[in-house]
Structure 1
């Protein structure tokens, strides 16, 4: 009888630990899921210490203020996302210039789930809000974005594709024809820690200037009071392929993201 009680206790303990671990992994996946329907504020930064083939060893920095607002406008679940850069860029001959970059708006419509896979797609608009020619394209741009997210027991798989092309703006600036792909791979560890890779592949179809970076970083998810989730990370990224000069040789991507629960209306 004592042996049976001991076995039962071990089974209950194992079940409790497994349930807690599964919930922890689910929380980490939700914090990293780009389609999580929560109000989200991201403070993210790219630091580029070196460009391939650039004379004088210039560096650059881009701080990104990002936000995500879920809604059911028109009865359709969607996520409105904005990205506003504050950048420091080389500026010949004055050295460096700091200011606002171009504002990117995205409206993702969430499609019905297929098993555990979620799809989102919608229009994209870029406004030429840059305060200096070195910080933006000087062009109005329109395009589309698509996202697929597939949570796993061990982490998260996702991908974000965007395409944008210019249709108006300064006549003396180059046209824009840009395709990007961001593969996202997260491997959950324990106690909210996870490994991550999320470097963005860039394909400049206008100038045929393309490059593919690969990243490997570390992050941690914190559950704060009032249901707020904080996600902090750092991810060095190295360019493994390029077909022209001017791409970052390597860069450091870091950030802190906050997700806020949406209050449900009272019955």
Structure 2
């Protein structure tokens, strides 16, 4: 828990330091969390999971994501590519914790935005995951394909909400690895407090259909949006607690991130 306290303290110090550069931009703050926004974006996300179900007490996981999004065809299409860097910590018999680090499986999806206006954005398209992991424990060893659907509603300047739904299954890859079939539902909700400060939640409800495993967390965090020249900077911290789990899944995790939108 010392690591967790350190992360929280560092994040709060970062929030305080950047608030000096904050500008009034409530409209931009509302769009800063739109995953389909017509802006090039670079996001740095981290999930720290100090408590896992069906695992030893000292076991933990950490997954950092680098996500790049690029609108195409005048904003009708959006390409998003995500690269995970994972750490797994497992206790040994002697009491030490052995860590495994490396690249996970990269994924990408292309969204066709069939509804796109200032208050409502909806898109859907194909999703593909490549077996790029540097260690067998960090990936599936399979090519996977499926679909993604995204919706974002910003009819109110105070409250915005939406969801990301994905499904994918394996179709090729290492023959000695288990096939995959999984889905995820990510509701997200944002309550603007003014001056770029907002409350938020974006938990991912994950369902491993093949192995009857799942994780259904709830989340409530806080974020800050500022505009620095032509860049929107959105940083946040969001604790998440899983109401339901089956298999080895996070019971508690902390989601932190910095999103950059280039206007």
TM-score scaled to structure 1, two decimals? 0.84
2:213 aligned with 1:209: yes
CA shift, 1:229, in A, is: 0.5
1:3 is aligned to none
2:207 aligned with 1:165: no
Q: Which has the higher strand share?
A: 2
User: What pairs up with 1:52-91 in 2 under 5 angstroms?
Assistant: 52-72=53-73, 77-90=76-89
CA shift, 1:115, in A, is: 8.6
Cα deviation 1:32-57 (Å, max 9, x = unaligned): 11110101000110000010121242
Cα deviation 1:175-231 (Å, max 9, x = unaligned): 110110000000000110000000100011101111200111000001001x11100
Separation (CA, whole Å) in 2 of partners of 1:167 and 1:96: 30
User: What pairs up with 1:63-212 in 2 under 5 angstroms?
Assistant: 63-72=64-73, 77-90=76-89, 95-113=98-116, 116-151=119-154, 152-212=156-216
In the alignment, is the contact (CA less than 8 A) between 2:47 and 2:62 conserved in 1?
yes
RMSD: 1.8
Equivalent residue pairs, number: 235
1:236 is aligned to 239
Separation (CA, whole Å) in 2 of partners of 1:76 and 1:224: 23
Separation (CA, whole Å) in 2 of partners of 1:70 and 1:241: 36
CA shift, 1:245, in A, is: 3.3
Q: Which runs of 5+ in 1 are unaligned?
A: 1-22, 262-267
In the alignment, is the contact (CA less than 8 A) between 2:38 and 2:75 conserved in 1?
no
CA shift, 1:114, in A, is: 7.6
Moved more, 86-95 or 164-173: 86-95
Choose the corresponding residue for 1:248, options 244, 247, 250: 250
Which of structures 1 and 2 has the bigger CA Rg?
1
1:259 is aligned to 261
TM-score scaled to structure 2, two decimals? 0.85
